[in-house]
Amino acid sequence: MSALYLLIFASLIVALGFLGAFIWSVRRGHFDDDYTPSVRILLDDNPEDAN
């Protein structure tokens, strides 16, 4: 049965990790603008930019 306890805590820690990642991303402003990045990714840079 002790394996069960271990697994429960492991799963909780993983879940908390995701919650932490979510809070970090909100704090970094990832949720402030949900439109522009979807356009930006389709706009190519000019070739000379790449150098």
Minimum distance, C-beta of residue 47 to other proteins, in the bound complex (Å): 10
CA distances from 24 to 28, 31, 32, 34 (A): 6, 11, 13, 16
> DSSP character for 51?
-
Minimum distance, C-beta of residue 32 to other proteins, in the bound complex (Å): 6
Measure the CA–CA gap between 43 and 50, rounded to whole angstroms. 13
Q: Give residues 10-49 in contact with other proteins (rule: CB under 8 A).
A: 12, 15, 18-19, 22-23, 26-27, 31-36, 39-40, 42-44, 46, 48
Minimum distance, C-beta of residue 27 to other proteins, in the bound complex (Å): 7
